[in-house]
Amino acid sequence: MHADDVGLVEALRSGDEAAFSRLVTRLHPRLVATARRILGSAEEAEDAAQETWRRVVRGLDGFEGRSRFDSWVFQILVNRARTARGAAALRREELLEADADRDPLDGQFDRWMQWTALPGSWGNPEEAALAAEVQRIICRSLDTLPEQQRLVLQLRDIDGLDAVETCAALGITEANQRVLLHRGRLRLREAVERGLEVTHG
């Protein structure tokens, strides 16, 4: 078990309500946001997060520490949300995931998985207005991504999980996580550039 998780898990297993309350305060908004990306509904996302907490409480004794505790909680959430959404929607998302005839990664990212160049329009002097517009475009565009890309971006770039934690939460390989992250970032970048061209064209 990861050293940072030992005290938390011990407190939770002993019934420490304050520790559980702190955990919920810290993670709940991120769980709801991640579930919202899967389910598309704020109400269903809240239900999935609540069910996740019930399963966390029931499953505490089964937590073996093979992944970070937060990753384990996110894995429960992702599984719960996917189940709630249904197998038919999952199949549609997986078909979208298989659309890559070209490799969009060539030259777009450096060896540390960062963009090699930010969109030129981001240097606009109207920073506040531009930042708000970029945020709106990103939020709209995230919802159009295939599920796995959307979840990897949510967990890595929004929730701040590292690559290992993201792989554990989603049950994917590190190589798959890297590709999904790159493709998702690329699609968001293209959406931002297109949106800014339309807005400021």
Question: pLDDT for 29-81, tens place per residue?
Answer: 999 988 888 887 888 889 999 999 999 999 888 888 878 888 899 989 988 88
Beta bridge partners of 109: 115
Question: CB–CB of 22/70 below 8 Å?
Answer: no
What's the full length of the chain, in residues?
Answer: 201
Question: Of 74-83, 85-94, 125-134, 148-157, which range is least confident?
Answer: 85-94
Exposed, middle or buried, 71 (CB in 10 Å: 0-12/13-18/19+)?
buried
Question: CB–CB of 143/150 below 8 Å?
Answer: yes
Q: What is residue 105's three-state secondary structure? A: coil
pTM: 0.58
- Position 142 pLDDT exceeds 60: yes
Helix 174-200 / helix 127-142 crossing angle, nearest 10 deg: 130
- Position 124 pLDDT exceeds 50: no
- Position 183 pLDDT exceeds 70: yes
- Position 122 pLDDT exceeds 60: no
Q: Which domains does the chain have, with CATH numbers?
A: 3-87 (1.10.1740.10), 104-200 (1.10.10.10)
Q: pLDDT-based confidence at 141, cuts 50/70/90?
A: confident
Q: Report the candidate in 101, 100, 121, 122 with the shortest Cα–Cα distance to residue 183.
A: 100
Question: Of 139-143, 149-153, 169-173, which range is least confident?
Answer: 139-143
Mean pLDDT of the chain: 79
